[in-house]
Amino acid sequence: MQEHDARILRGAALPTAVVGVVAMIVGFALSGLQGVYGGLFGVGLVIGAFAVSAFVISWTGGRRPELLLPVAFLVYTTKLGILFVILLLFKGTTALDTDVFVWTALACIIAWLAAQAVAVKRSKQPTIVPEGEEDEAVTEDREAHR
């Protein structure tokens, strides 16, 4: 994973974890231990899904940039499928508070997307680099992975 991608990932994961901790505290106040489990499951699912997809897309971008769009689409549809299966498996469970889970997941998704947008804006990483202006480190990195 390239350094700017790692900075963006950290910039999104840390605020999301803070939101998750707050959600678990609120969940405990509302539903006791089941609320904590619901919050923990919600924040873990969101951070895990977004972190894995960011890692896969970054890895693909470093090796085969022409495959970024198909891989991003595949990661997105796979993430939705896995979420659907998880929601079906936990339908009607009493092990965790499902309301706390849903609200925690929603708050963490919003926090992740907002924090990632801020981190991308702060990184000032050019999206398109003209052929002649490519950074030597990027060129060397691409050559090493071929």
CA distance linking residue 138 with residue 124, whole number of Å: 15
CA distance linking residue 108 with residue 114, whole number of Å: 10
- Residue partners of 90: CB distance under 8 A and separation at least 6: 96, 98, 101
For residue 59, what pLDDT is reported?
Answer: 87
CA distance linking residue 78 with residue 43, whole number of Å: 19
pLDDT at residue 134 greater than cutoff 80: no
Average pLDDT, the chain: 85
pLDDT at residue 92 greater than cutoff 90: no
pLDDT tens digits, one per residue of 41-81:
999 999 999 989 988 888 888 888 888 899 999 999 998 99
Band the pLDDT of 143: cuts 50, 70, 90. low
pLDDT tens digits, one per residue of 103-133:
999 999 999 999 988 988 887 766 666 676 5
Q: Any idea where the domains of the chain sit in the sequence?
A: 3-124+132-144
